[in-house]
Structure 1
Amino acid sequence: KPVNPNPVIRGAYDTPHMRGIRSAVVGNINAWRTLADDMYRPRVLQQGEPTGIWSRIGGGKYSYSGSGIDTATDYTRIQGGYDAKISRGWTVGGQVSYLRGSEDYVFDGSGKVKSFSVGAYGLKDLGKDQYVHVETQVGRVSNDFTARNEIGDPMSGDTKSNAYSIGVRYGKTLKYANGFYVEPQAQLNFTHFGGRNFNVGNVSVNQSGVNSTSGKLGLELGKQFGNGNLYTRFAAGHAFTGNVKTTFASGSVVKLTEQDLKGTWTELAFGGRYGFNSNNSVFADVATGLSGDYQADWGVNAGFTHKF
């Protein structure tokens, strides 16, 4: 029987260096997820923020644990854009977003991740205290990383991918006395993360493209007062699809790994906004993840809007 000179080895086992490389790939995916999936600007517009030029800056930490890898990322995120009301109950706008993070991997590996996107969004008043939010973003993620094994031997490389996301959110506001409200929400997101070939030392790596569909159900409780509001929001999300296939080739040996991104997570947020006058307003929020393979350990954000 002839022997295959380039066997494909399948199974759960991979080397520490391979785990570090997979960490960098998943780190890119999670950086894009952190940058692009919260649909933040339509949310604060829904809460009463004026339209105009706006900026938001924040930071935090998120982590991922699954399939033999553990990552932790400290990040800073900057966003800005402009929006305006148009006809038929629509508010539309455009935005740019940038994220930069430092990542820790297994066996003291590390990465420097950067993500940039441009996007458009809209908010539609459906009447009867109902609304729909839509948002799309397209951009690029890069990661300069070092993978290490048990004795600290390094393998360094960089990986880059293009990505885009589309999201839709529906909500209904139930208003009560003294400015209190309850708002159930449902959200659906689709993300495509492009594939990439890159080299790490003497290892050739092929990362396949990833398509992921996720949904989220949330409940926001809040109070409107004068020129502002305060709220707390609980949400549970689930990724229905998403599979990362990575092929490693070194010499005559080829190794294929697969990582399933499907799973459920929960999160909790507190925030508010305050309008100094009809043209100037500030907003802020604090968020934390409660469970899930991907978990936003904490995040703090603040921003302002100026209407010309």
Structure 2
Amino acid sequence: MNGAAISNGLEVNNSTATISGSTIASAAGNGLLINRQRNLTTGSGVSLTNSSSSGALSGALVTHFSQLELIGSQLAGTGINGVGLRLNAGAAQASASSIVGTANGVAISSEDDYTEASLKLDSTQVVGQVGAAIRIAPLISRLPGSVVAIDVGNGSTLTGGNGNMLEVTGASTAVMKVSASSLNGNVQVESGSTVTLGLDNSSMTGDVLAEPGALADVLLDNNSVLTGRLENTRSVVINNGGQWAMIGNSAVADLNMNGGAVRFGDAAGFYTLSVASLSGNGTFIMDVDVGAGRTDFLDITGSATGSHSLLIGSTGTDPSVDTSLHVVRAGAGDAQFSLVGGAVDLGAWSYDLIKQGANDWYLDAQTRKVSPAAATVVALFNTAPTVWYGELTSLRTRMGELRHNGGQSGAWMRTYGNKFNVSDASGFGYQQTQQGFSLGADGKVPMGDGQWLAGVMAGQSSSDLSLDRGASGKVDSYYAGAYSTWLDSDTGYYFDGVLKFNRFNNKARVNLSDGTRTKGDYSNSGVGASLEFGRHIKLDNGYFVEPYSQLAGMVVEGKDYALDNGMRAEGGLTRSLLGKLGATTGRKFDLGQGRTVQPYVRAAWAHEFANNNKVRVNDNVFNNDLSGSRGELGIGVSASLSERLQLHADVEHSKGDKIEQPWGASVGIRYNW
């Protein structure tokens, strides 16, 4: 049949029919009746392509041994109790079609002693405008329950006006397999009935609600996600990246995990999952309310086996009390539980998971450690001294050998890089890599003995911090200052004084234990000064020795700021006072025509006196302490290429108990006018 219009319905009885491009309607009955003669074991077969069929009772009715194929077609049940498709132990498959009924989209019943029915949906929508999308129920009470196989695939949808996508009643059994689809709605199982729901690379938002006396089994596979409650569920199997997202307290008899996960809702609610038995290996995604001392809770009333992980959400808030938090209890078995990442970050502290008693697991308050987030915010307050000294250094490193051309006026530029390793003994260990540049200009001061230079300088540096577990920080420093240098050509004595102002832009980036990131930014200012005094002593054959001393101090304003996970940091003034005694020795080579080169070696002993730089994280007080001594060793070369142009380069290394500088490098140029 092709292109027909039928207004009184169509019955196909123990026959086959191919219908295309047609419209079938029935004002009082079934639009399309696909029937068989009673007592025969053969039925009818109909293929409906690019057509529509509607009826007050149903768009189509398929009896046992009969089959319906829909391709790009529409079925509609238009009466008050109309269904889009009724299967009386029949079979139907639909592709790129729609099935809509006033009561139900699809209604399935047994027929006499025949109970088996099947429904396959491919890119098809099923809608029950008032009731469930699919309802399995005996047409009359004397009929047995049905045994139904339902396949939902390739983006098919099930929509029920009462919120149910599937209802199983009348001692029926349904096996519904869902693939590559996203469903919304509940599965309702009446007492005495059974449902098996399997999701493969699919998602479902809705509850599986089994009445007492009903049986419900759920399988989630291949990254499938079910978001909803499971009530009186017999078994849940979660494989290969599948996830069950709870929205309330739930109870299941058997839970088997094979690379899957259970998410205990979101951070706004705290739920208990009660399980009679647990097996396999999987992940439980949980949260804690550290302020109220509440947690999600896994309660295994029977036996627990396998190895499982807990991914507990991080927070920037500290626990209200220093007590351990109970997260898992098992009645028996040898199951092992561990934390993803080895710890959970709760405010300023990281907690380990410990087993207490026979089968109870707690987040342990006794063995807690400082969290990477807290370590990062404290370390940021600690970086200002190393940033400041890396920018400044000594006179020779900053400006080269000014004596090459008698301390003439000029301009200069220096680029530099430094690596610092700060040990845990300082408070919190980190690695700092710095790079930057300075430039300046100076002139002779027409006063006194005429051997004074006065100048101004400015520059910028960037420092990257690396801490444990991928935590990082960044300090962008902008600075300007003034300096005055005195060089006595007769005695070799020299003095160098520097006053420098800094603006620091600080950023913290932290990888938390639950895989999320938190960040925070703040800016502050600092000021410091350096005084250096030494003497250049000439020896025979161009050799020289230059003992020197340096005293430098700085102070950086305190600042309050917060990470976006709620962690609060309050830093007081950061202070540093560094004393240094050292000597440089080298030799000057005269290359003729005003050109000279001067290689040198430098050694020094430095001591940091400041030892009390307090930082408060939440309500915990930590101390940054870089105090202590370290030895420094450097080599360099200074060259005069002409009367006006000079170059210098320097590399150095230092090591102490709390701070090590594996390397520092500097290259500069000066032009005299």
TM-score normalised to the size of structure 2? Answer: 0.42
> In the TM superposition, what is the alpha-carbon distance from 1:270 to its structure 2 partner?
0.8
| Corresponding position of 1:93 | 455
Q: How far is 1:150 from its partner? A: 4.8
Which of residues 145, 158, 183 is equivalent to 2:521? 158
Letter in 1 for 2:423: S
Matched letter for residue 14 of structure 1: V
- C-alpha distance in 2 between matches for 1:243 and 1:78: 30
1:1-308 alignment runs, 5 A limit: 14-39=370-395, 40-41=397-398, 44-45=401-402, 50-67=408-425, 68-86=427-445, 87=447, 88=449, 89-126=451-488, 127-150=490-513, 152-201=515-564, 202-226=566-590, 227-249=596-618, 254-308=619-673
Classify 1:278/1:43 alpha carbon distance in 2 versus 1 (closer, same or farther; 3 Å): closer
CA distance in 2, matches of 1:41, 1:92: 14
Task: Kindly provide the amino acid, as one letter, of the partner of residue 571 in structure 2.
Answer: Q
Of stretches 263-272 and 84-93 in structure 1, the one that deviates more from structure 2 is 84-93
Q: Which moved more, 1:40-49 or 1:26-35?
A: 40-49
Q: Give the letter for the 1:219 counterpart.
A: A
Structure 1 position 185, deviation (Å): 0.8
Would you say the 8 A contact 1:42–1:121 is kept in 2?
A: no
Structure 1 residues 85 and 76: CA distance shift in structure 2, 3 A = same
Contact kept in structure 1, 2:400 and 2:638, CA below 8 Å = no
Q: Which amino acid aligns with 1:188?
A: L
How many residues align structurally?
297
Identify if the C-alpha distance between structure 1 residues 292 and 119 changes in structure 2 by more than 3 Å, giving closer, same or farther: farther
| Partner Cα distance (2:514, 2:628) in 1 | 33
Deviations 1:138-190 (A, max 9, x none): 11112212134455543211132211111111112222100101111111111
Q: Structure 1: which amino acid aligns with 2:434?
A: Y
How far apart in 2 are the matches of 1:271 and 1:142? Answer: 32
Pairwise CA RMSD? 2.4
Q: Deviations over 1:184-212 (max 9, x none)?
A: 11111111111111111212211000222
- Tell me, in whole angstroms, the C-alpha distance in 1 between the residues paired with 2:417 and 2:506: 18
Question: Which stretch of the first structure deviates more once superposed, 214-223 or 224-233?
Answer: 224-233
Q: Distance in 1 between matches of 2:403 and 2:559?
A: 38
* Distance change (3 Å), C-alpha of 1:65 and 1:186: same
* 3-state SS, counterpart of residue 382 of structure 2: helix
- Find the aligned partners of 1:29 and 1:172 in 2 and give their Cα distance: 27
1:179–1:225 contact (8 Å) kept in structure 2: yes
Residues 437 and 459 in structure 2, CA contact (< 8 A), matched pair in contact too: yes
CA distance in 2, matches of 1:290, 1:149: 32
Structure whose alpha-carbon radius of gyration is higher? 2
Which letter does structure 2 place at the counterpart of 1:80? L
What's the CA shift for 1:306?
1.6
State how far apart, in whole Å, the 1-side matches of 2:382 and 2:550 are: 23
| Residues in 1 aligned to 2:538 and 2:569: alpha-carbon distance in whole angstroms | 54
Greater per-residue helix proportion: 1
Worse-matched range after superposition: 61-70 or 132-141: 61-70
Larger RCO, structure (CA 8 Å, separation 6 or more): 1
Taking structure 1 as reference, are residues 261 and 74 closer, same or farther at Cα in structure 2, changes over 3 Å only? closer
1:260-305 per-residue CA deviation (whole Å, 9 max, x = no partner) reads 2211111111111111210111111111123342222212221211
Residues 50-70 of structure 1 deviation map (CA, whole Å, 9 limit, x = unaligned): 531111112232221134522
Taking only the aligned residue pairs, the percentage that are identical comes to 22
Structure 1 Cα separation of the partners of residues 599 and 408 of structure 2: 16
CA deviations 1:65-107 (Å, max 9, x no partner) are: 1345221122211111111222322112111121112221122
State the secondary structure of the residue aligned to 2:398. Answer: helix
**Is the contact between residue 80 and residue 97 of structure 1 (CA under 8 Å) also seen in structure 2?**
yes
Tell me, yes or no, if the aligned pair for 2:434 and 2:461 is still in contact at 8 Å.
Answer: yes
Structure 1: distance between partners of 2:665 and 2:516: 36
Per the alignment, residue 3 of structure 1 pairs with none
Answer yes or no: is the 8 Å Cα contact 1:51–1:305 preserved in 2: no
